[in-house]
Homo-oligomer: A and B are copies of this chain.
Amino acid sequence: MDFQLSEDQQALKEGVRTFCDGRISADQLRELEKEAFDRDLWGELAEMGVFGLRLPESEGGVGLGSADAVVVFEELGRCLAPGPLVWSHLLAGRVEGAASGECVVGGLDLLGRGEDPVLVEHLAHIDALVVLREEGVYKVAPGSLEGAPIETPLDPFTPVHHVASLPEGECIADAAEAAQLRVEGAALASALMLGIAEQTQEMATEYAKGREQFNRPIGSFQAIKHILADMFVRQELARAAVYAAGATLDDPEVGSVRRAVSTAKLVAGEAAMKNSRSCVQVHGGMGYTWEMPVHYYLKRTWVLENVFGGVEEHALQVAEEIGERG
């Protein structure tokens, strides 16, 4: 057992971080606010191997595993990289051009869902839409959907269309694969939320060191210190859970994959939600402005909480295993 990053993983992580710092900084992100998508950036992400990461090298991929993928998505979450990252990654190898970035693949998860309004993310930017249904994985031509764009989406970087009618599309994989994609999607969404939890903790800590009130840095007050300490602990817990989900996906003999992934989604979701809220609070009035990027993190978290199963579903998933063995 060596539950730490390998040297290769460390290098991978640093590479992605360096790329994101230079290409998806807060200022650059702000400029993307209008369009919420950048085809050039997408190509660069593809080139870095984000989408083909787990595709075998023989199929043009990077040939890495889920443990590597969660590390990459952790970094992408940190910088709030926009676009249907998870879907395009999941469908690499199944949809032509997904790995290379030539085909931007979006998705819609109808598994375990009620009769909510059908909201499709990034519809205007995708070349293929994949739908997870009980019966299997379906590919739908985005142009065939009847839908109206929502003018003010929750997350400025996650535009949505409200779709009135969804064609069935072409079945490209069976029910078992749909379920598997959903589990992998949940793990990657967790990794994005882990990145959010880390970044908001670091932003809040930096701000608390610099901001002075009552002639002291606010970070010298216990009330603020203890908020930050709790943020740190949630981030550490989330990291362990997300990495465990990745490692378990790669080697299902070390534990229950579903349980590990549900745990990651629950714990990373809570970390991202509470940390981004705390980040607003520590920033005070500035955290409530549009200009400071703090709110982007909370809004993205709300989006990620609503894909690949919500809190209750994953909690029940864990309970089911506990109950079986009880």
Contacts and interface: CB of A to CB of B under 8 A. Distances in A.
A223 B224 CA distance: 9
Interface residues of A, number: 4
A58 interface: no
A222 B221 CA distance: 7
Contacts of A221: 222
Interface string A213-241: 00000000111001000000000000000
A76 to B, nearest CB: 36
A226 to B, nearest CB: 6
Nearest to A223: B222
Interface string A154-189: 000000000000000000000000000000000000
Contacts of A223: 222-223, 226
Nearest to A222: B222
A140 B122 CA distance: 70
A221 B226 CA distance: 12
- Interface centre among A221, A222, A226, by most chain B C-beta atoms within 10 angstroms, is A222
A208 to B, nearest CB: 14
A226 B227 CA distance: 12
A223 B226 CA distance: 8
A226 B221 CA distance: 12
A296 to B, nearest CB: 29
Interface in A245-297: none
Interface in A117-150: none
A233 to B, nearest CB: 15
Nearest to A224: B222
A223 B223 CA distance: 6
A248 B269 CA distance: 42
A125 to B, nearest CB: 39
Nearest to A226: B223
A230 to B, nearest CB: 12
Contacts of A226: 223
A229 to B, nearest CB: 10
A50 to B, nearest CB: 43
A225 to B, nearest CB: 8
Contacts of A222: 221-223
A222 B222 CA distance: 6
A226 B223 CA distance: 8
A223 B230 CA distance: 13
A132 to B, nearest CB: 33
A226 B225 CA distance: 13
A154 to B, nearest CB: 24
Interface in A48-75: none
A110 to B, nearest CB: 28
Nearest to A221: B222
Interface of A: 221-223, 226
A-B pairs, 3 with minimum CB distance: A222-B222, A222-B223, A223-B226
5 contacts: A221-B222, A222-B222, A222-B223, A223-B223, A223-B226
